[in-house]
Structure 1
Amino acid sequence: MTQKKKKLIIISMCLLVVGLGIHFAIQSKNTMKTVEIHFDNTKEFTQQELEDGAKTVISYFNYHYSDSVLHQIDYDEHFYQNDMSTRVTGTSRYSDLPKENVLILKTSYTTGKHVEGSVGPNSLIEGWQFVLTRTHKNGKWRVLDQGV
């Protein structure tokens, strides 16, 4: 192989790596560093449990709302306690789960250019809830439901 071909291959590989890096940086624009996160003081969850829940929301959001920008994630203790105290067995998808295995996080975000449904492009959505559940105290959070 000639010296020119080797240089061309090396340059091509470098450009490929840079291109992939840019692609993944754009794809994961919402991160723990770019999203404002607010957690009320709580005896229900540890800081780590709340952070793991926020990471789950960010990951889900990046995949399902790739054209939107997530601004904020909140854990509101009063809202959580009210929701948990008013749930009636059988009326919600999480009513039979132990309280410590249900986490509700509120978000705000701006929709992107490509939006389905009644919400228009570049619209601010506030109070969008993500209901996270897990199978046991040390289990991984997963998104069970979302909405207002």
Structure 2
Amino acid sequence: MNQTLYLVDNNAIVQLRRERIKSAFFRSFCRITDDVLREAREHPDAALLSRNRYELTPSVLEQVRRVMKTVEVGDTSLVDLYGNTGAADPGLVASALHAIALEEEQLFADTWVIVTNDRAVEAAASGHGIPVLRPAVLAAMIDAT
């Protein structure tokens, strides 16, 4: 199809105003992983966000293994389960890898971009060749449509 799709982190959802989440652009081009949906369950538009769900499947979990293999032992910058931070972050990167892998054989594959303000997610995504966008840039793109 050759379009750009966005996997949106919870920290980006928080920054977007509700009218942006309700926009046609967001509905058409933005996806929310199951892990991020869990983090955003208290958001006033949680039901609307769930319509853009990117499902956590066994294939995505295989990609989580791939992501976690790149994390050094003792490095808690991406995920710190004891500190209760970053639980959705490996799944976000893994979902992008999964989406990209699904389209590898397509002549005109979609481009997948992660939208986040999290430096560790950005580093993990960049390490796997996944582009990253700041929430303010996505907000400007939505406003321009």
| TM-score bracket, shorter-length normalisation | under 0.3
Q: TM-score, normalised by structure 1?
A: 0.26
Q: TM-score, normalised by structure 2?
A: 0.26
Question: Which structure shows the higher strand fraction?
Answer: 1
Question: Which structure shows the higher helix fraction?
Answer: 2
Q: Which has the larger radius of gyration?
A: 1
